[in-house]
A and B are shown apart, each in its own frame.
Chain A
Amino acid sequence: MNSLTEEISVDSETDALAAVKSDFQEYLDILDTAPSWWKDIKKSAFEDYCALPDPSRKDETWRFANLKAWRGTNPEFSAMPSISNAQSLIERSDLIKTYSGQIVIADNQTIQAESISPELSAKGVVFTTLKKALSTHGALIKDYFMKQEVDLGSAKAAKLHTAFLENGVILFVPKGVEVEDPFIVYNWATSATVPSLPHTLVIAEDLAKVSLIEAQLSADESTPSYSCGVGHIFAGASSKVQLTVLQNFNEQSVGTQISSNITGKDALVKTLSVNVGCKQYRSETHGKIVGSGAHVEMLSLAVTDNDQEIDQRTLQTHDAPHATSDLLFKNALRDKSKTIFSGLIKVAEHAQQTDAYQTNRNLLLSSDAEANSLPGLEIEANDVKCSHGATTSQIEPEEIFYMLARGIDRDAANELIVNGFFEEVLERIDVEELAENVRQLIRSKFKK
Chain B
Amino acid sequence: MSNTLEITNLNVSIGDKQILKDFSLTIPKGEVHAIMGPNGTGKSTLAKAIAGHPDYEITSGEVLLDGESILDMEPDERSRAGLFLAFQYPMEIPGVSIANFIRAAKNARLSEDEELNAPAYYKELYEKMDMLQIDRKFTARSVNDGFSGGEKKRCEILQMAMLQPSYAVLDETDSGLDIDALKVVSEGVNTLRGDNLGVLVITHYQRLLDYIVPDVVHVMYDGRIVKSGDKNLALELESKGYDWVKELAPAGA
**Does chain B have a CB within 8 A of A95?**
no
The answer to whether A407 touches B91 (Cβ under 8 A) is no
The answer to whether B54 touches A420 (Cβ under 8 A) is no
Closest to A425 in B: B95
The answer to whether A397 touches B93 (Cβ under 8 A) is no
**Does chain B have a CB within 8 A of A412?**
yes
Q: Which chain B residues border A421 with CB–CB below 8 Å?
A: 94-95
The answer to whether B76 touches A409 (Cβ under 8 A) is yes
**Does chain B have a CB within 8 A of A193?**
no
**Does chain A have a CB within 8 A of B105?**
yes
**Does chain B have a CB within 8 A of A428?**
no
**Digit string of B70-92 for contact with A (CB within 8 Å is 1, else 0)?**
00001110111000110100110
Q: Provided the pairs A397-B54, A416-B100, A416-B104 are in contact, do residues A406 and B163 lie with their beta carbons within 8 angstroms?
A: yes
The answer to whether B79 touches A406 (Cβ under 8 A) is yes
Q: Which chain A residues border B84 with CB–CB below 8 Å?
A: 405
7 smallest CB-CB distances across A and B, nearest first, come from A420-B95, A423-B95, A407-B79, A420-B96, A404-B75, A402-B91, A406-B105
Q: Can you report 19 A-B residue pairs in the complex whose CB atoms are below 8 A from each other?
A: A399-B91, A403-B76, A404-B79, A405-B52, A405-B75, A405-B84, A406-B105, A406-B108, A406-B159, A407-B163, A408-B105, A416-B100, A416-B104, A419-B95, A420-B94, A420-B142, A421-B95, A423-B96, A423-B142
**Does chain B have a CB within 8 A of A398?**
yes
Q: Which chain B residues border A403 with CB–CB below 8 Å?
A: 76, 93, 101, 104
Which residues of chain B in 146-200 are interfacial with respect to chain A, using CB atoms and an 8 Å cutoff? Answer: 159, 163
**Does chain A have a CB within 8 A of B53?**
yes
Q: Which chain B residues border A399 with CB–CB below 8 Å?
A: 91, 93
The answer to whether A416 touches B101 (Cβ under 8 A) is yes
Which residues of chain B in 116-140 are interfacial with respect to chain A, using CB atoms and an 8 Å cutoff? Answer: none
Q: Which chain B residues border A410 with CB–CB below 8 Å?
A: 74, 76
**Digit string of A408-433 for contact with B (CB within 8 Å is 1, else 0)?**
11101000110111111000000000
- Looking at the complex, which one of B53, B108, B109 makes contact with A401 (CB distance below 8 Å)? B53
**Does chain A have a CB within 8 A of B51?**
yes
- Of B54, B76, B87, most A-chain CB atoms within 10 Å: B76
Closest to B162 in A: A406
Q: Which chain A residues border B87 with CB–CB below 8 Å?
A: 402, 405
The answer to whether A417 touches B93 (Cβ under 8 A) is yes
**How far, in Å, is B236 (CB) from chain A's closest CB?**
33
**How far, in Å, is B120 (CB) from chain A's closest CB?**
19
Number of interface residues of A (CB under 8 A): 23
The answer to whether A416 touches B93 (Cβ under 8 A) is yes
Q: Which residues of A contact B (CB under 8 A)?
A: 396-399, 401-410, 412, 416-417, 419-424
- Of B94, B142, B163, most A-chain CB atoms within 10 Å: B94
The answer to whether B95 touches A408 (Cβ under 8 A) is no
Q: Provided the pairs A401-B75, A406-B163, A409-B108 are in contact, do residues A419 and B96 lie with their beta carbons within 8 angstroms?
A: yes
Number of A-B contacts (CB under 8 A): 81
Closest to B51 in A: A405
The answer to whether B76 touches A408 (Cβ under 8 A) is yes
A400 CA / B125 CA spacing, docked (Å): 23
Q: Provided the pairs A399-B93, A417-B93, A424-B95 are in contact, do residues A404 and B105 lie with their beta carbons within 8 angstroms?
A: no
Q: Which chain A residues border B142 with CB–CB below 8 Å?
A: 420, 423
Query: Interface of chain A, helix or strand or loop or mixed?
Result: helix
Closest to B169 in A: A405
- Of A407, A410, A422, most B-chain CB atoms within 10 Å: A407
A420 CA / B142 CA spacing, docked (Å): 8
**How far, in Å, is B125 (CB) from chain A's closest CB?**
14
A397 CA / B105 CA spacing, docked (Å): 18
A37 CA / B53 CA spacing, docked (Å): 71
A410 CA / B75 CA spacing, docked (Å): 10
Closest to B86 in A: A405
**How far, in Å, is B229 (CB) from chain A's closest CB?**
30
The answer to whether A412 touches B104 (Cβ under 8 A) is yes
A249 CA / B207 CA spacing, docked (Å): 61
Q: Which chain B residues border A420 with CB–CB below 8 Å?
A: 93-96, 142
**How far, in Å, is A411 (CB) from chain B's closest CB?**
10
The answer to whether B95 touches A407 (Cβ under 8 A) is no
**How far, in Å, is B88 (CB) from chain A's closest CB?**
12
Q: Which chain B residues border A404 with CB–CB below 8 Å?
A: 52, 74-76, 79
Q: Provided the pairs A404-B74, A407-B109 are in contact, do residues A422 and B95 lie with their beta carbons within 8 angstroms?
A: yes
A404 CA / B108 CA spacing, docked (Å): 10
Closest to A415 in B: B104
**How far, in Å, is B104 (CB) from chain A's closest CB?**
5
Q: Which chain A residues border B52 with CB–CB below 8 Å?
A: 404-405
Closest to A402 in B: B91
Sample of 9 further A-B pairs with CB below 8 A, known A405-B85, A416-B101, A419-B96:
A399-B91, A401-B54, A402-B91, A402-B93, A406-B76, A407-B163, A409-B74, A420-B142, A423-B96
Q: Which chain A residues border B90 with CB–CB below 8 Å?
A: 402
Closest to A418 in B: B95
A417 CA / B104 CA spacing, docked (Å): 12
Q: Which chain A residues border B163 with CB–CB below 8 Å?
A: 406-407
- Looking at the complex, which one of A407, A419, A422 makes contact with B76 (CB distance below 8 Å)? A407
Closest to A407 in B: B79
Closest to A399 in B: B91
Q: Which chain B residues border A412 with CB–CB below 8 Å?
A: 104, 107-108
**How far, in Å, is B7 (CB) from chain A's closest CB?**
17
**How far, in Å, is B16 (CB) from chain A's closest CB?**
20
